[in-house]
Amino acid sequence: MRAKSPEKLLRAARAIKEGGVFCIEVSMTTPNALQVISEVSKELDEVVIGAGTVLDPETARTVILAGAEYIVSPTLDVKTVETARRYDRLVAPGAFTPTEILRAWEAGADVVKVFPASRLGPKFISDVKAPLPQLSLMPTGGVNVENAAEFIRAGADLICAGSALLDKEAMGRGDYSVLTKNARNLVTAVKKGREEG
């Protein structure tokens, strides 16, 4: 999640939680991200708060101390993975090719963020899982209600969605019920993918 203010992000997090999404990642590109992570983790104790766009071990440690329960990166930095493991936090580094994905897994990733998934599609997930079934994969970037079930059926263990949940226009006019509806629809799509998979 990214928002222009901590208040908007907290409102968005509440709306998404109401729609059934209980893991919320706060991107480090969000203004005052550490404050947001701290506030959201205190305010919504039934929600698992993580930090995204974590690029180095120093940032990983800082977000963990602020309350992040998991670390997500767009790329693989082995020292960041090691820091997350040291603090017993789930870590999901990003990778694009099968070689990068395996390297991230071997470095200690709990799940590998396949990014950007919009460039690869669901078939890529099943193609990678065929020879490497032990990997836990999370497609990110371009995952939405229309393709979430297909990613799950292809072998994704979970998905990460941003713009599919956050409607900037609705947030701008203060209509957070749209976010709740988006979250419900996405949760339904994931459940459908698991039932059919």
* Residue-level pLDDT, tens digit, the chain, 197 residues: 887 777 888 899 999 999 999 999 999 998 889 998 998 888 887 899 999 999 999 999 999 999 999 999 999 999 999 999 999 999 999 999 999 999 999 999 999 999 999 999 999 999 999 999 999 999 999 999 999 999 999 999 999 999 999 998 999 899 999 999 999 999 999 999 999 97
Phi, psi of 5 (to 5 degrees): -150, 155
Residue 113 annotated among the catalytic residues of the structure: yes
186: in domain? yes
List, in sequence order, every residue forming a beta bridge with 113; answer none if it has no partner: 94, 138
Q: What is the CATH number of the domain that holds 157?
A: 3.20.20.70
116: in domain? yes
The rounded radius of gyration (Å) of the Cα atoms in the chain is 16
Residue 82 annotated among the catalytic residues of the structure: no
Q: Read out DSSP for 159-196?
A: -B-STTT--HHHHHTT-THHHHHHHHHHHHHHHHHHHH
The whole-model pTM stands at 0.94
139: in domain? yes
Catalytic residue (one of 8, 39, 113, 150): 113
Catalytic residue (one of 25, 46, 169, 181): 25
Q: Domains in the chain: how many in total?
A: 1
